[in-house]
Amino acid sequence: MREPNHLRRILIAWLVLSVVATPIVVLLAAPGLPPGDMTTQASGQVTDNTVLLAIVTPIAALMVVFFAYALTTFRHRAGEPEEGPAIYSDRSITTTWLAVTTGIVLFLAVYGTARLFDNGSGGGQGSNPIAKPSGHPMPVQVIAQQWEFTYRWPTFGGVETPHLVLPVGQEVALHVTSLDVIHSWWAHDLGVKADANPGVDNIAYAKPTDTGSFDIRCAELCGLWHGHMFDTGQVVSHARFTAWIHGQQRFFRPATGNLPRYNIHYYPKPERRAG
């Protein structure tokens, strides 16, 4: 009786499963992945996750097919010897596997680097970002302290506001810092997460593309009321943003006059602790 070609069977089953599963994953599952499409950076992260899923789906399919085939075809049957034949490595399979995995890793390295430099990064890059968006982003200083975030606007007279409102379509440079302990500013829907360290200017970029609200949370355990350190931000039209920021300037004018001059390296001491 002719011995079946196990490799051919596995490859055919793998190709069929990959052809069916990959479009389903890429076209149906991937578009709904977080963090969504509220900013350019968030949309870019969804695109990157889609590419990763498109690459990993055939790999996962191969593993599923191989294990299923091995469990059904090479299982021990009654009357067969307990010890199977010796298994030796196959140079062609080893070489192919090494070449394919090396190619995938190199592709992802090049792709990831190119994507990082494309639109800046939603993650904090320190005080000297290597990946910067084109144009002139509007600076906003994110100031963390136990247990709240405030926002200082150097292009609007240095006013400091308790809430964050951003204009749609405007690239924003978020200068994240802290007044006391280590915090982490996380706006999931914006695709931004940056550590807030005392005396450090940690820069992240975001360009809102849709209006709406977004949640802000601290993602670093920072003390007793860490879980209370959250807020809701807004992305609005340019007209609404202009009206809002001018209203904040008028309302906080007395406090602004008592603040130290805006500086990304200043070390202010909070007047009080929240809670």
| CATH code for the domain of 222 | 2.60.40.420
Supply the pTM of this predicted model.
0.79
Q: How many domains does the chain have?
A: 2
Whether the CB-CB separation of 209 and 119 falls below 8 Å is answered with: no
d(CA 230, CA 218): 6
Residue 37 domain boundaries: 6-74+92-119
H/E segment holding residue 251: helix 238-251
Inter-residue contact 125 to 131 (CB < 8 Å): yes
Q: Tell whether 112 and 164 lie within a shared domain.
A: no
Check residue 2 and give its pLDDT.
56
In 3D space, the residue among 132, 140, 185 whose CA is nearest the CA of residue 159 turns out to be: 140
Cis peptide before 244 (omega within 30 of 0): no
Identify whether residues 150 and 104 lie together within a single domain: no
Query: Tokens at residue 264, please?
Result: 């990304």
| Confidence check: pLDDT of 16 > 90 | yes
* Max avg pLDDT among 35-39, 57-61, 178-182, 267-271: 57-61
* Domain end marker among 52, 84, 119: 119
**What is the predicted pLDDT for the residue at 166?**
97
Query: What does DSSP assign to residue 128?
Result: S
Residue 246 falls inside a structural domain: yes
